[in-house]
Structure 1
Amino acid sequence: MSYYSLEAEQAALGSIILQPDLIYESILTAEEFYHGPHQTIFESMEFIREREKKIDLVSLTMSIGEKIQDVGGVDYLSRLSQSVPTVANFLEHEKIIKEKYLLRTGFNSMKAIFNDGADDPNTLAAELMGIAEFIEDHNRGTDYFKHIKDGVMQHFDVINDKKYNGKPNGASTAGKDLDDITGKWKPQTLNIIAARPSVGKTAFLLNNAVRNGKEGLTVAIFSLEMPDLQLYDRMISAECNIDGSRIESGQLRDEEWETYTIGLSELAKLDIYIDDRPGLSIQEIRAAVRKLKKKCPDLIVYIDYLQLIKGGKKFSNRNRNDEVGYISSSLKQMARENDCPVVALAQLSRSVEQRQDKRPMMSDLRESGNIEQDADTITFLYRDDYYNAETEKKNIIEFIVSKNRNGRTGTAEMVNLKNYGKFADYERYQG
């Protein structure tokens, strides 16, 4: 089986020379050509297109410049245009070139995986899933448009479900005021919760996860920092209102045992899945989410935390910011392809400690990469008593929504009942 077609490449390039406007319709990239001279010729065509000039033998020759002999000279360019009797089959030639490119890329990627060796079957499966996703993403058709008639009917179905069937408008957070600002966490969105260590990120995540489970959602938690038993300690403490230290030590009072057993049975009813493998790659997470989505359509995904995710072997010798940027964009793609909210915790850099006002801002996102760009919402947690022992805001956490792609920004306050790892709305707690 051949992994390239020189004939299709020649026909595609010759068609563009014959009918230059085809370059504006082309979905090809230079790297998708197998033949090196053809890559150079197509790059020159793209260069001319970007400058809004007409592609012909003269402009191509000038654009290719000193490399003209490397591509076969002017004679070869002329033969390309003469070898195509009609441009009617241009789309078919493009399709052949793209398919051959995907076959080559898939084959070479799999060869590299097997040459490097995989640590375990799960890693191998995730790497292969990454290849499959790449091929699927690049093997789509060219007709992406949806007619507004189809779109508005889809919109009607969504609104009708919300109004008459009680379908929730997104996944709730642990606080009503925060819901009012964010509009809840919607499907296909990436939501970042960021704070310095020990402010309450994980406790907030678990409060949300339990609430979502009670709403009927399936909850997936990827805990890269903490083993699952510690998460259970925290969830049980918050659910049963039992001091976390007694849960951890097992020294429950006699009167707490009944509350504890009832709380366990209530938590066991929730559709919550926890994956506590450390050092997960983004490919492994995407593979696990895709598998869970197939059997649990109403899904929300939580990740603790973003900077602990690995980008895969291709980032072993590359800049960490690039790797985090790749991970954040992959999380956004994961939210879209699985039609679910993704909520990822993130660490803040120490730069926040160097300012007089310690409230976080966008520039404090550690190894930020593209996080600010990819996220639909970014919420910072701030505890004044973390820095100021004399503050009047004891056990109060500010939730600073600094980015909200589809709504307003603002600050909500919640009470942090630290002994129980529990959050409560400030006004209702005061009342």
Structure 2
Amino acid sequence: MSEATGIAANKETSEGGLTALLRRALPSSLQAEQALLGAILTNNKAYERVSDFLEPGHFSDSINGRVYEAVARRIERGQLADPVTMRAEFEHTGILEAAGGPGYLAKLLTAMVGIVNAGDYGRVIHDAWIRRQLIEIGETTVNNAYGARADLDGADQISASEEALFKLATERGQDGGFVSFGNALATAVNIAQEAFKRTGDVVGLTSGLRDLDKRTGGLHPSDLIILAGRPAMGKTALATKVAFSAARALMRDAQEGSQKPKGSVAIFSLEMSAEQLATRILSSEAEVSGEKIRRGDIGQKEFDRFVRVSRELQSLPLYIDDTPAISLSAMRTRCRRLSRTQGLSLVVVDYLQLMRPAIGTRPESRVLEISMITQGLKAIAKELSVPVIALSQLSRQVESREDKRPMLSDLRESGSIEQDADAVMFVYRDEYYLQQRMPKDSAYDSNDKFQMATEEWQRKMALVHNKAELILEKQRHGPTGTVQLYFEGEFTRFGDLDLIHE
């Protein structure tokens, strides 16, 4: 056989195989659907075995789905649903006519094998629906790859497919259910026992800030923590401090046990590059001004210290992703991957207004979009059982008030930010605003008045110099209040404020 003939034969075989694939029937089980409906119509208690996971849309035959919906609606009202009571509704809604007449009810009753098997019938129907959804996702992925969605590049198409699969996995309706109080109590006792074994006030992962840990008990799994503030307040510096402290604590625990760290810290930096963030951490730890580092205006001694500290820190379980405008689905995928390969203990997002919602979704408004993002971040926290710290902007209405300390209503495009968060914290520095109100001699008609104003301003500046406030406005599992912090502007770093020896 010639080469051309062989190629043609292979092409024909390939096309034939593709045609065969396309002609295959979608997964379904009409027998299971009819058997389940017959069981429910015979004994309504059969409905209780499937009602928590089976929906009308899960049926492959739309007529069966309509029958199930009508029967379920009547049972939910506390009324009897059998062939006699349902016949009038079936005739009125056209279900019997679409099914081929009254004989269909008799067919359903005949198909019923046993009420005790109703749960098994429901799971067969549900499994077939999942398989059909997977096929639909696969077809959509193939069509998009061929160019059906020109607005999505290759990376976006991967994210869209991942998002569709995640949505199917989380919304399939079969997971969940009641947990006995005994099991919940045992889990609570185990958590309390672990807390009792620890020294100090930290139950969760440390934030590296003594007074914050005292008030919160540390960073707890599954919590969504919003850290908000106006520009120049130090949101990123504070979040970086917490992330770095958590990574150092994980490394310290591992070294004490001579093991690999059990977890890691992920920072999604949507505003700053990974290099800029690393420089900021190095500047803080080496006590070398970041501004001097950028200008190259440092001496040999400072540079040697900079290099020495960098060597000490390079093994920290800290990972930075600086993808701009990352989507929620891509973030979820990368967190899962890191959790699987390195373990994951904390996620920091800087900041949520720069994120995109899941690929393929088109929110009607910016508020709805932010709501989808915060709900997604909370879902990541719960799924991976890690605390998620998300930075957020504040609206400009703060600047119009005399007292510029933020409030919950200042959250920009708040939507469900406040609702979804387990804790909301605001970082505030009075020094920043007072610095802008430095007296100018041109505003006074005499030098004496100018001197008096300057002295008063200097007195106020001395009171707030190197001080910051972390306002814990909401905490679902503990008290609220204000934590006093130390802020060193030269190295853009936060620390504990020693009020006793101040």
TM-score (norm 2): 0.76
Q: Alignment partner for residue 55 of structure 1, among 78, 81, 84?
A: 81
Q: Alignment partner for residue 308 of structure 2, among 247, 255, 262?
A: 262
Which residue of the partner structure matches residue 62 of structure 2?
Answer: 36
Which one-letter code corresponds to 1:23 in the other structure? Answer: Y
Q: Measure how far apart 1:228 and its partner are.
A: 0.9
Q: Alignment partner for residue 44 of structure 2, among 20, 43, 47?
A: 20
Q: Measure how far apart 1:294 and its partner are.
A: 1.7
For residues 40-89 of structure 1, what are the alpha-carbon distances to aligned partners after superposition, in whole Å with 9 as ceiling and x for unaligned?
Answer: 33333443345343334566466678533565487245643453242222
2:486 alignment partner, SS class: strand
Q: Equivalents in 2 of 1:56, 1:162: separation in Å?
A: 55
Which residue of the partner structure matches residue 394 of structure 2?
Answer: 348
Do the aligned residues in 2 keep the contact of 1:174 with 1:423 (CA within 8 Å)?
Answer: no
2:495 alignment partner, SS class: strand
1:246-325 correspondence to structure 2 within 5 Å: 246-297=292-343, 299-316=345-362, 318-325=364-371
Which residue of the partner structure matches residue 94 of structure 1?
Answer: 122
Q: Equivalents in 2 of 1:20, 1:262: separation in Å?
A: 74
Specify whether residues 313 and 137 from structure 1 end up closer, same or farther in structure 2 by C-alpha distance, changes over 3 A only.
closer
Which residue of the partner structure matches residue 167 of structure 2?
Answer: 134
1:427 alignment partner, SS class: coil
Q: Measure how far apart 1:285 and its partner are.
A: 1.0
Q: Equivalents in 2 of 1:428, 1:335: separation in Å?
A: 35
Which residue of the partner structure matches residue 378 of structure 2?
Answer: 332
Q: Measure how far apart 1:189 and its partner are.
A: 1.6
Q: Measure how far apart 1:409 and its partner are.
A: 1.4
* 1:411 and 2:482 correspond: yes
Do the aligned residues in 2 keep the contact of 1:40 with 1:71 (CA within 8 Å)?
Answer: no
Which one-letter code corresponds to 2:65 in the other structure? Answer: Q
Q: Measure how far apart 1:94 and its partner are.
A: 1.0
TM-score (norm 1): 0.88
* 1:236 and 2:262 correspond: no
2:239 alignment partner, SS class: helix
Q: Measure how far apart 1:95 and its partner are.
A: 0.7
* 1:173 and 2:207 correspond: yes
For residues 316-360 of structure 1, what are the alpha-carbon distances to aligned partners after superposition, in whole Å with 9 as ceiling and x for unaligned?
Answer: 364333332222222222222222211111222334344444332
Which residue of the partner structure matches residue 116 of structure 1?
Answer: 144
2:343 alignment partner, SS class: coil
CA RMSD of aligned residues (A): 3.1
Larger proportion of helix? 2
Which one-letter code corresponds to 2:471 in the other structure? Answer: I
Q: Equivalents in 2 of 1:311, 1:193: separation in Å?
A: 20
Do the aligned residues in 2 keep the contact of 1:315 with 1:323 (CA within 8 Å)?
Answer: no
Specify whether residues 62 and 191 from structure 1 end up closer, same or farther in structure 2 by C-alpha distance, changes over 3 A only.
farther
Stretch deviating more after TM superposition (20-29 or 93-102): 20-29
Q: Measure how far apart 1:270 and its partner are.
A: 1.2
* 1:379 and 2:413 correspond: no
Do the aligned residues in 1 keep the contact of 2:26 with 2:132 (CA within 8 Å)?
Answer: no
Q: Equivalents in 1 of 2:86, 2:497: separation in Å?
A: 68
Stretch deviating more after TM superposition (31-40 or 102-111): 31-40
Do the aligned residues in 2 keep the contact of 1:174 with 1:204 (CA within 8 Å)?
Answer: no
Question: Which of structures 1 and 2 has the bigger CA Rg?
Answer: 2
* 1:208 and 2:232 correspond: no
Specify whether residues 71 and 399 from structure 1 end up closer, same or farther in structure 2 by C-alpha distance, changes over 3 A only.
farther
Aligned-residue identity in percent: 31
1:141-180 correspondence to structure 2 within 5 Å: 144-147=177-180, 154-155=187-188, 157-164=190-197, 169-180=203-214
Q: Measure how far apart 1:39 and its partner are.
A: 3.4
Do the aligned residues in 2 keep the contact of 1:238 with 1:420 (CA within 8 Å)?
Answer: yes
Q: Measure how far apart 1:242 and its partner are.
A: 1.7
Q: Equivalents in 1 of 2:425, 2:477: separation in Å?
A: 14
Q: Equivalents in 1 of 2:397, 2:100: separation in Å?
A: 57
Which one-letter code corresponds to 2:122 in the other structure? Answer: E
Which residue of the partner structure matches residue 19 of structure 2?
Answer: none
For residues 93-143 of structure 1, what are the alpha-carbon distances to aligned partners after superposition, in whole Å with 9 as ceiling and x for unaligned?
Answer: 111221122122222223223323485665444444334433433568668
Q: Equivalents in 2 of 1:52, 1:122: separation in Å?
A: 50
Stretch deviating more after TM superposition (117-126 or 366-375): 117-126
Do the aligned residues in 2 keep the contact of 1:41 with 1:71 (CA within 8 Å)?
Answer: no
Q: Measure how far apart 1:215 and its partner are.
A: 0.3
Q: Measure how far apart 1:404 and its partner are.
A: 1.4
Provide structure 1 residue ranges, at least 5 long, that are not aligned to the other structure: none
Which residue of the partner structure matches residue 33 of structure 2?
Answer: 9
Do the aligned residues in 2 keep the contact of 1:24 with 1:49 (CA within 8 Å)?
Answer: no
Provide structure 2 residue ranges, at least 5 long, that are not aligned to the other structure: 1-24, 251-262, 438-456
Q: Measure how far apart 1:197 and its partner are.
A: 2.4
